[in-house]
Chains A and B, each alone.
Chain A
Amino acid sequence: MTSGVTVFGLCAAAAVGLGLNGLMTSPQPLRKIIAFNLLGSGVFLLFGIVGRRGAAAGFGNDPVPQALVITGVVVAFSATALAIALLLRLLKTSGSTTLDDPAPTSPHSDPSGD
């Protein structure tokens, strides 16, 4: 029981770490968006563990964190949708998805975005 919670806790930590690393190091916006989702998943997993340990009144399976996770998932989903929409619009307008402001004469094209 305790060991299960620990394993999931370590998984959450790993997901947060990988997500942070991806957000920081990958130059492609699409990868950044995926990394954000990974990071978010780690946090949601942490909420699950918090509920499993019974944070509120000491009883197991506290339902409140589950409600929070569902809300969080909706928020993360909308964020991803908005980011993807912006990315597609950027690709359509400028023909590239790089986030660094390029010199106007050298279109550094990277259409696939990943």
Chain B
Amino acid sequence: MLPPAPALATTAGGFLLVLSIVAPVAGILLAFVLGDRHVRQVAFTVIPIGLAIAAAILLAPPESDGPLVYLLGAWPPPLGVALRADGLSTVMLATTAVVICAVAVFAVTDFRPAAADARAPFAFWILLLAIWAALNTIFVGGDLFTLYVALELLTFAAVPLVCLEGRAETLRAALRYLLFALLGSVLYLLGTALLYGLYGTLDIVLLSRRVTAVPGALIAAALMTTGLLAKTALFPLHLWLPPAHAGAPAAASAILSGLVVKGSFFILLRLWFNVMPGLPGFAVTQLLAALGAGAIVVGSIVALRQERLKLLIAYSTLAQIGYLFLMFPLAVDASGKLDSGGALAGGLLQAVSHATAKAAMFLAVGSIYAGLGHDRITGLRGVARALPLSVLAFALGGIALMGIQPSGASLAKELLLEETARTGQWWWAVVLQAGGMFTTGYVVLVLAHALMPSDQPVVLTGPTPLSRDLPALALALCSLLFGLMPWERYLPVPYGAALKLFGIDGLVKLLLPVLGGAALAILLSPGPLPVISSASWNTLRSVVGLCRRCSVEVGRRVERGDEVLRQWPVACISLLLVALLLAASMFASN
């Protein structure tokens, strides 16, 4: 039987959803009116307001009273457009507000109006607000076409952030990003047209009651999913991500890596869990998670081989995006439907933890870069003494990302592991553990270099104001403490899930990724290892040396393969292949 119809009428507090979109847009318009000199004041007026709106939505009556709804112009769907905020939207709205706020504080000194290059600061603040407006629209949008427009707005705001510095290689990265994203969004639009032709509505709630497993709907689902995967940069459709995220200024990278990829991922969740939970079936979810597993392996191995810290973090984002897709097979219930249960909660929690932790890491690297004048990993010796707060923020962000208790990632991993045990899909438990180890690998590698004492004092080339380190530290702490938040109110997290993190087996869960990660870092990183040479190490070295040579060779091959996959024609063919495979597996299971 169909679930009881959610009220198709504006609820009390529904206007908050409109405000969450209107506030940043009003800020943009005001900034254009007031001009270059006041853009920063405008941004810092709008950001507290937006934060307050997100907090108000967070504190609105809980999920059991139904989602917040606002009907624009009081026209009910299918003719009108509805805005809705359920638990997922609420969590994402709040996370976005927090990350934007922290990044804005970080960017205060870098993007002063009337700095040497007058255009970049103005553009940055405008684009920051535009990204916020687009993301909020994605989180509360109630029909697929509104989501399309919001997705495009998000891309249009994200692409110029990539090339704020105006260097040729960043322009090239931005153009590649834009063109590939446009290809993705046109596929999404094609799917939307097919769905409208079949069912005569694009409203998510109405569609969910009408969707049936007819060929048109399956093709539409495959096209839309492929388009969204291209925008989320799931392996092997990631050609644009590393240069775009590594080339942008630190504050922009934090937004791009932490928030922008989550926008298209969120639409994918909406499409699968809300619009067509009955369609995908077992085979498609396995395929998606297999791509995710590929992303984890390739992204992490290539990350371990990077010489520059920013590229390492960009590839880590690639791996973490793969991690997000492991939730899909775990959410399939006995009847082959996607169930909005623990797996969905785990996946979203992972997305939220990654958003905060990755933003923190990019910000920390930004202040290290500003302090040292470079971000070569092998040149990080002694930086922990020179820039203790930045390194601390990076370390805390990394620890949160690894899934050390009580971080949000650890709770997410716990939830997903429970689901693997419940559904008997042990192979995804292996991938989940391996993902944690790989993450630990590249975090430990960087920290090992940064914590080594330096022979000569580190010369700082730039000022290191506290306004750069504190927001990074705050975000990292946020991510680290996410496991302790009362998620039951917003997400289908079983009560007391957080308590399980601290049992005696919690120690095993702590040590396993740390030891595995350290081993992976030693085996796969091609550079000189930051180890003080001693007699015991020298005997060990001869044993490890052979293994290391082999695995470094494997890593080199993987990096080559990644380069091939990131060529434009190859990526386009992968895109078509993914679409075909998705469609074929959907036809097979329906």
Partner-B contacts on A (CB < 8 A): 16, 19-20, 23-25, 27, 29, 32-33, 36, 39-40, 43, 46-47, 49-50, 53, 55-57, 62, 64-65, 68, 71-72, 75, 78-79, 82-83, 86-87, 89-90, 93-94, 99-101
Contact status B175-A90, CB under 8 Å? yes
Contact status B196-A83, CB under 8 Å? no
Nearest CB on A from B422, distance (A)? 41
Contact status A36-B573, CB under 8 Å? no
9 A-B pairs with the lowest CB-CB distances in the bound complex, closest first: A56-B200, A94-B168, A50-B197, A24-B572, A90-B171, A55-B200, A46-B193, A93-B168, A86-B175
Q: Is B159 an interface residue (CB 8 A)?
A: yes
Contact status A46-B171, CB under 8 Å? no
- Identify which of residues 14-28 in chain B touch chain A, using a CB-to-CB cut-off of 8 Å: none
Q: Is B527 an interface residue (CB 8 A)?
A: no
Contact status A25-B569, CB under 8 Å? yes
Contact status B189-A29, CB under 8 Å? no
Point out the residues of chain A lying under 8 angstroms from B190, CB to CB. Answer: 16, 43, 46
Point out the residues of chain A lying under 8 angstroms from B572, CB to CB. Answer: 23-24
Contact status B171-A89, CB under 8 Å? yes
What would be 24 A-B contacts, judged by CB atoms less than 8 Å apart?
Answer: A16-B190, A24-B573, A25-B569, A27-B568, A33-B179, A36-B179, A40-B189, A43-B190, A46-B197, A50-B197, A53-B197, A55-B196, A55-B197, A56-B200, A57-B200, A64-B79, A65-B196, A68-B196, A72-B148, A82-B160, A86-B171, A90-B168, A90-B175, A101-B243
In whole angstroms, how far apart are the Cα atoms of A27 and B179 in the complex?
12
Residue of B nearest to A49 (CB): B197
In whole angstroms, how far apart are the Cα atoms of A101 and B587 in the complex?
40
Partner-A contacts on B (CB < 8 A): 78-79, 145, 148-149, 152, 155-156, 159-160, 163, 166-169, 171-172, 174-176, 178-179, 182-183, 186, 189-190, 193-194, 196-201, 243, 567-569, 572-573, 576
Contact status A29-B196, CB under 8 Å? no
Known: A55-B197, A75-B149, A99-B175. 12 other contacts (CB 8 A): A20-B576, A36-B179, A40-B189, A43-B190, A46-B190, A50-B196, A53-B197, A79-B178, A86-B171, A90-B172, A93-B167, A99-B568
In whole angstroms, how far apart are the Cα atoms of A33 and B190 in the complex?
18
Nearest CB on B from A101, distance (A)? 6
